[in-house]
A and B are shown apart, each in its own frame.
Chain A
Amino acid sequence: AQSVAQPEDQVNVAEGNPLTVKCTYSVSGNPYLFWYVQYPNRGLQFLLKYITGDNLVKGSYGFEAEFNKSQTSFHLKKPSALVSDSALYFCAVRSRYGGATNKLIFGTGTLLAVQP
């Protein structure tokens, strides 16, 4: 069965400092991995994805994520946090194998709070 874990409900970081939001996954075979961000009263916005190739993926708004197969992790990172980055972040995973039961599984979300 597919699953994804975001071990931290909330991450606090000071503006200008680097940030990391953690994600680990469990899926059969190689996964498709995604990060989404949700601002209050809005839908989820796509940030970046890992499909294949380079383990370091760059996405929107200066975010990047590193795929680590041995640790089954896909942590989201940014070198310098902004107050405007404060939002709810979701990691999602999907198996490469298709089928009627294959679906995108979302983590429970991590609230990122960036203090000025």
Chain B
Amino acid sequence: DSGVTQTPKHLITATGQRVTLRCSPRSGDLSVYWYQQSLDQGLQFLIQYYNGEERAKGNILERFSAQQFPDLHSELNLSSLELGDSALYFCASSVGVDGNQPQHFGDGTRLSIL
């Protein structure tokens, strides 16, 4: 058990809809990362937050947004969903912001767009 909790585990919705994915980081970790995993794109970094502030940004679409709350949990919001957004979305956490620390991953949310 990594200590990172993601909810829900599965999400099925339709095109054009909006969903929110939730992540609780490992106790003591201040950084939260969001990734998208799909068969054609592999594992893609979306965004990182550190102690409530956006720290780094990757290939995140404008339709997607995230935030980290004072209790350090994070939410990833996906709107105007398209079929191509179907993927596994992972949250990871680490103690600090330095790149030399391992990230600890949750078990992901599987998003299916019908």
Contact = CB atoms under 8 A, between A and B. Distances in A.
Contacts of B4: 43
Interface string A29-62: 0001010100001111110010100000000000
Interface residues of A, number: 27
- Residue in B33, B56, B90 with the greatest tally of chain A CB atoms within 10 Å: B56
Contact of B56 (A36, A101, A107): A101
B70 interface: no
A95 B99 contact: yes
Contact of B107 (A34, A41, A100): A41
Interface string A72-116: 000000000000000000100011101111111111110000000
A43 B99 contact: no
Nearest to B106: A43
Given A43-B4, A90-B43, A104 B103 contact: yes
A46 B57 contact: no
A37 B47 CA distance: 21
Contacts, number: 58
A51 B100 contact: yes
Say whether chain A's binding surface is mostly helix, strand, loop, or mixed: loop
Given A42-B107, A43-B108, A44-B105, A108 B42 contact: yes
Interface string B66-104: 000000000000000000000000101000010110111
Contacts of B24: none
A109 B104 CA distance: 17
Contacts of A103: 45, 48, 56, 58
B2 interface: yes
B102 A46 contact: yes
Contacts of B108: 43
Nearest to B55: A100
Interface of A: 32, 34, 36, 41-46, 49, 51, 90, 94-96, 98-109
